[in-house]
Amino acid sequence: MAGRTVVITDKATGKSVECPVLEGTYGAPVIDSRPLARELGMFVHDIGFGATSACRSAITYLDGDQGILLHRGYPIEQLAENSSFTEVAYLLIHGELPNARQMSEWDHSIKMHTMTHEHVNTFYQGYRYDAHPMSMLQGVVGALASFYHEPQTDYRHDTDHLLTARRVIGKMPNLASKCYRYSNGLPFVYPDNSRSYVENFMYMMFSWPTEPYHPNPTAVRALDLLFILHADHEQNASTSTVRLAGSSENNPFACISAGIATLWGKAHGGANEAVVHMLEEIGSPANVRKYVDRAKDKNDNYRLMGFGHRVYKNYDPRAKIIRKVCHELLTELSLDQPMFEVALELENIALKDDYFIERKLYPNVDFYSGIIYRALKIPMNMFTPMFALARSTGWIAQWIELMEDEDFRIGRPRQLYVGSERRDYVPVAERSGA
């Protein structure tokens, strides 16, 4: 409804303020609360920003109640079925799907940025042999700010944003693969631009200088699919971090590094590692019921990982897609499937249990992704760097959108102060107990 407003009244003073209601393409209407500060001197208290719209965005929409995820209006199911990761990257950056010529030029332009400066390689040497790959990835991505930085750069007006996007998307597989190679004492592998984006990444990860490398096409497609599903997911913690860092008109690689730091947390990108640990602990489908009962016991602090989501209150659409490809991959590669069988039994019991149904605890994207990474022989400490590699596409799309936003302003959340009242300083010798 055009011109819709919400009136908020302070009963203590009788003063009222009219707040505009903003309508998006989809989703709940949003109250523009800015008049509260101007008219009543009040702010909205929203811990974790779960009920706060901090920006306008045309990139990704998700409906947690209905289990819907759209990128630029396209359902994730259709993109997963028909698209490729680099095409989804084009969509996120440009807003539309490319034609054949545009797609060819886009792929070529990304391949022209797969190399990194040789001096970047020396950064890896400063890490301990057992450093977590996310620690390395955060550091080297941040270091790229020193290779692509002009002191007086106006990132909002003077920067070629598409060039920045191509650099980020093109270099992330190179940087991530070196984290794995360094951790395992293997020589770094230069990219081979005759290969596709995902195959090139696998080549840099797993090839040996002495042997030809030909990855299984099913494995390439499975990883490409995971990258599509991880490419963007609206204003989550890491994306919000990238936007907040960018709001200070910061170097884009520094912003991406900040996003990597946030993604690393076990409550965000690190959750798929926790799922694998859980499935290994359960061990067998016969043990699933015991662990489900433990999770339901309020006196037991045990938690089942990979269930529930901050936004989704229905089955995560990405989890449905991953479940299918997980089964196909394991069958194609003729791999033993005990962990997958445990996951299937756990999902089967949980989806029929009133405890999980009432709390809307459905499998999320992390529930099956770790099994696929395991099948691809990707070590557990590389799970989150894989996530970061894919999500950097969404991050840079969000960064560009922020830079080009007419309503751009630096992020500055407020707080509810609950500390001491004003008090005067007392010299140490005069304090009680001195």
382: DSSP letter: G
Structure tokens at 90: 């084009």
* Residue from 353, 366, 405, 424 carrying the catalytic annotation: 366
Q: What is the pTM of this model?
A: 0.89
How confident is the model over 392-408, as pLDDT tens digits?
999 999 999 999 999 99
How confident is the model over 101-128, as pLDDT tens digits?
999 999 999 999 999 999 999 999 999 9
Work out the percent of the chain whose per-residue pLDDT is above 90: 60
Average pLDDT over residues 25-40: 89
Q: How far apart are CA 287 and CA 305, in angstroms?
A: 16
Is residue 130 over pLDDT 70? Answer: yes
> Which residues lie across from 31 on neighbouring strands?
21
**Does 154 qualify as catalytic in the annotation?**
no
- Cβ 98 vs Cβ 86: under 8 Å: no
| All residues at 6 or more sequence positions from 298 whose CB lies less than 8 Å from its CB, including other chains | none
Is residue 388 over pLDDT 50? Answer: yes
Q: What are the structural domains of the chain?
A: 5-53 (2.20.28), 74-212+234-262+380-390 (1.10.580.10), 271-375 (1.10.230.10)
Query: Between 173 and 321, whose confidence is greater?
Result: 173
- Cβ 124 vs Cβ 183: under 8 Å: no
How confident is the model over 262-291, as pLDDT tens digits?
999 887 877 778 888 898 899 899 999 999
Average predicted confidence (pLDDT) for the chain: 90
Is residue 2 over pLDDT 60? Answer: no
Query: Between 65 and 60, whose confidence is greater?
Result: 60
- Residue 56's pLDDT band, with cuts at 50, 70 and 90, is very high
* Residue from 309, 405, 407, 424 carrying the catalytic annotation: 309
- Residue 336's pLDDT band, with cuts at 50, 70 and 90, is low
The number of angstroms, rounded, from the C-alpha of 293 to the middle of its chain's C-alpha atoms is 31
Is residue 434 over pLDDT 60? Answer: no
Average pLDDT over residues 387-392: 96
**Does 366 qualify as catalytic in the annotation?**
yes
Is residue 215 over pLDDT 70? Answer: yes
Helix (H, G, I), strand (E, B) or coil at 20: strand
Amino acid at 77: E
Least trusted range by pLDDT, from 158-162, 331-335, 360-364, 392-396: 331-335
What is the CA angle 411-414-417, rounded to 5? Answer: 155
How confident is the model over 79-104, as pLDDT tens digits?
999 999 999 999 999 999 999 999 99
Is residue 312 over pLDDT 70? Answer: no
Is residue 1 over pLDDT 50? Answer: no
